[in-house]
Structure 1
Amino acid sequence: MRVLITGAGGFIGEHLVLRLAREGYQVRACVHRRHPEISVPSEVQVVEGDVRNRSSMKAAASGCEVIVHLAGKAHAIHEVRADEDEYHAVNVEGTRHVLDGAVAGGARRIIFFSSVKVFGESSQGCIDESASPQPATPYGRSKWEAEQLLNEYSARGGLTSSSFRLPMVYGPSHKGNLFRMIAAIDRGRFPPLPQVPNRRSLLHVENLIDATLLAIRSGGPLRPCYVVTDARPYSITEIYESLRKGTGKPIARWRVPARLLKVAARFGDVLERITRRSSPLTSPMLEKLIGSAWYSSDAIAQDLGYRPLIAFTDAVPEMIRFYRASLQ
């Protein structure tokens, strides 16, 4: 089976390409630009393509039975009008071009990596696919619009699709928020957080790939969307203490009070508005740390037998090793 992966040069894409190649699939890896850092097995076909260009997507999708569509513009903490325009061009119209390529090339299935941002920014209770989409950001809205395109094309017949709504994906080789948190803790620049009983869903990249393989292999129908997460949510205290332990730091003897953090965050909000420069702490940033945003992946477990095997604490040693290696 030939599988096209768009966005194959990114963190998730690289892991997915390697795993599918090991599983014996004929992999076509579509990257925006070739560069020396992209290392793939010799049997993987690497092609250049821009999702904003319909003809390049038709060429990339030609002869592929399944498409896993990862390419997109990631969300920014501080979104401006230019970001909103690019979200639409890449995440919405780019998805339309991939779908046109899928139809023209005779693909039978497309899996789209969406985001839990379609639900909104945070929640006090557990959310599943039955919740109404209420995207609160341009990024979230672009993902929701792209999902609706998949539903529209699938309704025409001949192409089955499903959107995976993902929380933050983590794992080795990813220089994202957790990598920066590890670096700050290691350098003594991340204050001990208050013990907050919040719940935040995360997703290890290999758990995500397990879910993707189940969707590729399934011969039956798929739901329009699936939430995919680790087996359980985590508190920021658990995340912080796991990373602190992984970097060799002792257990914190004191904690910054939550009230003080909220005051500092409000000050950061004002500072940003005045200086128009990024502040080290703002209310939205603090919400991501101590607020709750947790989701249920029961639907994909029920339909496809998804069983996430890797937990956050299992992944910490490898993430720390990657961080240490990056310092060399």
Structure 2
Amino acid sequence: MAYVDRTIWGIHAKDDDLFLKGNMIAIGWREMGDLRDIGTNRDDYKAKYEAVYPNAKKGSIATSAGMLYRFCNEVQVGDYVVFPSKSNREVNIGVVEGEYVFEPQNHFSSRRAVKWLKHLPRTAFSQGALYEIGSAMTFFTVKNYADEFMSALNKKIKDFSDVEEDDSIGATAEDIIESTRDFILKELSRQLKGYALEDFVADLLRAMGYRTIVSPHGGDSGIDITAYKDELPPRILVQVKSQDGDIKETTIQSLKGAMHEGDYGLFVTLSNYTKNAQKYLENTPIIRGINGTELVELILKYYKDLNEKYQNMIPLKQVYIPVKDEL
């Protein structure tokens, strides 16, 4: 069965039976109305979405409007669909048989007829392929593992449960980890600017076992947080910067100037340090510099001990993921 020049779409559903028994794929956002009335301009979809959902987060407008646009305008009869059903943990592969239709009486109002061709166990696919169709998006294109899904459709099925080592596992696990790191850093940059980041760093230090005192906001001492490991010296003077640009040597020198004999310094930034600043830190061992990447690693390590306020701000769920055996 040829699939050259055919797009392979992935889709998720909360109601497996709607898709499988109804022989269709569908998406919601019923308030958007008949998508054909919006036209074929992507910007018009964004404008309509923002008007219909005025409280939508800015980042979700383009994503959601893009899915609606593709479902209505880019899907073609003859394209393939990959749908992972949760109720039976199968991967269902079908072909689009119908044009876009709008059924306002149904919650999932935008629909397309599909003929389901195969219903396969998840063990028939590599971990990488399963990760791709596990996308956080409702409707998306399948690219990286398209050949694997089409091979399965053409009866060239490989049972990955019998494979001693799945080569895609290592890459998949690293992708998940990197996505998590990116998410944390983006949320820090988005939600914690200025004094808010100082309060967060103080709570992180508390989770690490330090007693912390946040300096009055607006002070000109150059010290944002004072931390102690126990009741006795030494004290650690902390400076926190949420700026986007890399930290310069002169900025770290200002922290050094505020330190007394016996003090230690800690500089925390969401970005990084210039080469001169890195060299200065290397030559000044009483000051430790933490960049955005290192801050994320500390957050992951001490996440469970963070204040609930920050756990809600950066929601994470502990899971176990397969990793490639390097022995």
Bin for the TM-score computed over the shorter chain: under 0.3
Higher helix share: 1
Larger radius of gyration: 2
Q: Which has the higher contact order (CA 8 A, sep 6+)?
A: 1
